[in-house]
Amino acid sequence: MTDDLKPARLRLAPSPTGEPHVGVLRTAIWSWLYAKRTGGQFLLRIEDTDQTRLVPGSVERIIRSLDWLGLTYDEGPDIGGPFAPYTQSERLPMYQEAAARLVQSGNAYPCFCSSEELDALRARQQAEKRATGYEGKCRVIAPAEAAARAAAEPHVIRFAVPREGATTVEDLLRGPVVVENRTLDDFVILKSDGFPTYHLAHVVDDTAMEITHVTRGDEWLPSAPRHALLFDALGYPRPIYVHNPVILAPGGGKLSKRHGAKSALEYAEDGYLADALVNFLCITGWGHGDETVMSREELTRVFDIKDISLAPATFDTEKLNWMNGVYLRQMPEQQLAELFAQRLEIDLPPDVPRPLDRSFVEEFTPLIRERVQLLTDVLPLVDFFYQSVVATPPVEEFLAKKWKDQPQATADALDAAADDLDALDDWDAETLEATLRATAERVGARAGDLFTLVRLAVTGKTITPPLFESMVIVGTGPSIDRVRAASAAVRASI
């Protein structure tokens, strides 16, 4: 489909108070996709206007998260751009200038009320079951007097919200949202420390940076009218607003750190693929026909902000896991093997020498690629390949199912298998299978039942990659030794 969409500029504007969780990541993905789709730009801006909540290292974590997800930005604090700086604490003069301009035009005024005073006011309003909010005590101070006091006294700047009328904000997803101005109070735009509040900073920066679409969580919807009023008072054109719903935790309720909300970097650690996470997050709260698995390229072709769903979506970990498996299976084998190797270098015990032999990993990659959903699934599937000694499992594990209460037959079967394997000249999967099938027939067991015993003996596990291919990798000597050890253990228990 050919679209005539105008190049859009969108931004991710996190505050450096921790790591971005899936909610903001999904907004980032949507914004990024839309910017790409329209041939526009995506940028990163750090909103560090609250000096008290800064968490050291947050900015780096944010950047690393975006980098891992592949959400490249065209402008940002670390790479600069035509509207630098991209960190709000470095843009203070702009906010102060805007605030001063608003005071001058009568749209804002200094407020000298102390926080104790404001707390008391709020308490009174709550006690009387009235709406809380600043009632405009300092709004009536004459401008000349206010200016004089402002020069000497600590103060904030408040926006003078019109007492009459209503403000309509156009939201791209829900249409017009109308709010009566009298339900809005005179909110603070510049704090006493000279830093702007979010409200002012948003309006000033998104204008300065020529943002076309403001994408943010819908917790901002109630204050959108304030922003609209600010844009109007400053004489700035209003951007297109897109308030997207939150993501809910599986149990219901907002997804939070408590409810398993993870950061991008944690997903990486847990064995997820960036492409899968991007696809999954994009698809939760948004849909495109019957399609579910969509590559990044496909998404940038079809993603449209307008199709974002209004109802809050629940985070479905099962679906994410499934999708991760899909992406893993789709991957070229060579690339997959490298991923497995890197993961194993993290997960394998320290006594296994690094770097891992890539050709060895490539050998078993085809055996496990269909059995892996998360990268962390790899280790338990292949760890026995890296152990020179595999302890024989407890005898009870052998004497299960068909072999229950038959230690004699079990030991005999194991011995027969060992004998037959011993006699082999060739040690390839086909030969091994043919041999053991014959063994099974000879001892009067079903092939599958014998395989189960051999599997347990050779790998120490009940769930493994295909047995014969695994035995080829383990090698002749160790394989036979382990079968013999198992038979001895079973025999000893008689």
Tell me, residue by residue from 110 to 129, as one string, x for binding to RNA by CB under 7 A and - for no binding: ---xxx--x---x------x
Amino acid 302 reads V
3-state secondary structure of 177: strand
Q: Specify the DSSP class assigned to residue 74.
A: S
Cβ contacts of 133 within 8 Å, gap of 6 or more: 125, 184, 185
Nearer to RNA, 244 or 492 (CB): 244
Which of 86, 16, 49 has the alpha carbon at shortest distance from 190?
A: 49
Only one of the segments 55-63, 67-75, 174-182, 270-278 lies at the binding site for RNA (rule: CB under 7 A); that segment is 174-182
Q: Is 162 in the site for RNA (CB under 7 A)?
A: no
Among 6, 163, 257, 319, binds RNA (CB under 7 A): 319
Minimum distance of RNA from residue 493's CB (angstroms): 23
Handedness of CA 114, 119, 120, 126 (dihedral sign): positive
Catalytic residue, candidates 129, 137, 254, 257: 257
- CA–CA dist 434, 452 (Å, integer): 15
376-435 residues in contact with RNA (CB under 7 A) are: 429, 433
Q: Is 218 in the site for RNA (CB under 7 A)?
A: yes
Only one of the segments 34-42, 234-242, 448-456, 473-481 lies at the binding site for RNA (rule: CB under 7 A); that segment is 448-456
Q: Is 74 in the site for RNA (CB under 7 A)?
A: no
Only one of the segments 30-38, 192-200, 234-242, 353-361 lies at the binding site for RNA (rule: CB under 7 A); that segment is 192-200
Handedness of CA 238, 188, 20, 88 (dihedral sign): positive
Q: Is 234 in the site for RNA (CB under 7 A)?
A: no
DSSP 183-241: GS---EEE-TTSPBPHHHHHHHHHHHTT-SEEEEEGGGGGGHHHHHHHHHHHTPPP-EE
Nearer to RNA, 235 or 252 (CB): 252
Among 214, 228, 274, 313, binds RNA (CB under 7 A): 313
Q: How far apart are the first and last CA of the chain?
A: 74
The number of residues that bind RNA (CB under 7 A) is 87
- CA–CA dist 316, 203 (Å, integer): 35
Q: Is 19 in the site for RNA (CB under 7 A)?
A: no
Nearer to RNA, 79 or 177 (CB): 177
Tell the residue number behind the tokens 């940002």, with chain if given: 76
Q: Is 89:195 a contact under the CB 8 Å cutoff? A: yes
Nearer to RNA, 316 or 491 (CB): 316
Among 465, 472, 483, 484, binds RNA (CB under 7 A): 465
Catalytic status, residue 257: yes
Two tokens, residue 387: 């152990």
3-state secondary structure of 9: strand
Q: What are the φ and ψ backbone dihedral angles of 343, each rounded to 5 degrees?
A: -65, -45
Q: What are the φ and ψ backbone dihedral angles of 190, each rounded to 5 degrees?
A: -130, 125
Nearer to RNA, 119 or 345 (CB): 119
Minimum distance of RNA from residue 53's CB (angstroms): 5
Minimum distance of RNA from residue 323's CB (angstroms): 7
242-261 residues in contact with RNA (CB under 7 A) are: 245-246, 248, 252-254
Minimum distance of RNA from residue 227's CB (angstroms): 11
Q: Is 33 in the site for RNA (CB under 7 A)?
A: no
Tell me, residue by residue from 262 to 301, as one string, x for binding to RNA by CB under 7 A and - for no binding: ---------------------xxxxxxxx-x---------
CA 408 → CA 56, 312, 323, 435, 494, distances in Å? 66, 61, 46, 22, 7
3-state secondary structure of 286: strand
Among 101, 191, 358, 442, binds RNA (CB under 7 A): 191
Q: Is 231 in the site for RNA (CB under 7 A)?
A: no
Task: List, by residue number, the catalytic residues.
Answer: 257
